[in-house]
Amino acid sequence: MILTVDFFTPITDDPFEFGSIAAANSLSDVYAMGGKPLLAMNVVGFPADLAQDMLADVLNGGYAKAAEAGCLIVGGHTVDDAEPKYGLSVVGVIEPGKQVSNAAAQPGDHLILTKPLGTGIITTGAKQQKVDPNVMKNAVETMATLNRAAAEAMMKIGVNSCTDITGYGLMGHLRGMVRASNVGARIHFNNVPILPGALDLLKQGVVPGGTHRNLQNVSDTARWDADITDEQQILLCDAQTSGGLLISVPGSKLNQLLIELQAEGVPIAAVVGEITNGPAGTIEVVP
């Protein structure tokens, strides 16, 4: 059994979209382990003085996304809270011994990322009313996309390790993988997919506070090439909501996995780097 819980405050003005994104994000931990979500319970904080139909829309968004995942919402708990919060506590299953962890990456593995970065910057820009509607729409669609297809593809081919990319950013979650696996890694920035509009907002100074903290937290891990700019460092540390999977796959299976991801309809499968012999726990970032 896989048990997980996640919830957060609204990142979009539309309650249904917020519910969908929060549910997709909560389900990602199960998918990152190669599991199948079965049951979930709503976790809700909601101001008593807000219109109750807004809460209904949030819950409907979560229900629709859980239904898409084949996961049944069986109840939950709601408390009066000054700021809205929503997410799911999820129960998933996987055959014992087949689970994928973030602690088994091997030197020579390739790293595949299945969603673009930049959701933290874009949603922060939306709060500041600086985001083009089409940029926000694209980001919402990305965040609301389940990692189900990517998980099914990696389980069919067989991989060494996986993690989902959320609040700690690409660098933070990769740091967890290389430390747990006692290996190093190399990221090629030019191969990393970035959401349209994210770089423009970054140039305007739009950066989430969590992203700055992520950059500080990887200071003992990252080895930045001299040609990697400050803005590029921030993008790699951007705090994501409902990001993609970062999959560590042996070189002998790389092409098989890329073909399977495409067959499953995963729109992005970018080979962003590789696992190295070390120094263990470090990440080299090159152009």
pLDDT of residue 13: 93
229-278 pLDDT per residue, tens: 999 999 999 999 999 999 999 999 999 999 999 999 999 999 999 999 98
Cβ(242)–Cβ(213) below 8 Å: no
The alpha carbon of residue 67 and the mean position of all alpha carbons in its chain are separated, in whole angstroms, by: 20
* Of 147, 169, 116, the residue nearest 28 (C-alpha): 147
As a whole-number percent, the residues of the chain with pLDDT over 70 amount to 100
Contact 162, 250 (CB under 8 A): no
- Mean pLDDT of the residues in the chain: 97
- Pairwise CA distance, residues 133 & 136, whole Å: 5
pLDDT-based confidence at residue 51 (cuts at 50, 70, 90): confident
- Per-residue pLDDT tens for 70-92? 999 999 999 999 999 999 999 99
Find the mean pLDDT for residues 46-64.
95
The pLDDT of residue 39 is 98
Confidence class for position 43, pLDDT limits 50, 70, 90: very high
Q: What is the pLDDT of residue 178?
A: 98
- C-beta separation of 172 from 163 below 8 A: no
Task: List, in sequence order, the alpha helices (H) in 92-250.
Answer: 119-127, 133-144, 148-157, 169-181, 198-203, 209-217, 230-237
The predicted model gives 109-121 an average pLDDT of 98
Does the structure show a pLDDT above 90 at 23?
yes
CA distance 62 to 166: 18
3-class SS at 211?
A: helix
Mean pLDDT score, 106-110: 98
> Which has the closest alpha carbon to 270: 243, 252, 246, 253?
246
The string of pLDDT tens digits covering residues 167-219 is 999 999 999 999 999 999 999 999 999 999 999 999 999 999 999 999 999 99
Give φ, ψ of 284 to 5 degrees. Answer: -90, 130
Helix (H) or strand (E) holding 80: strand 72-80
Alpha-carbon gap, residue 57 to 61, rounded angstroms: 6
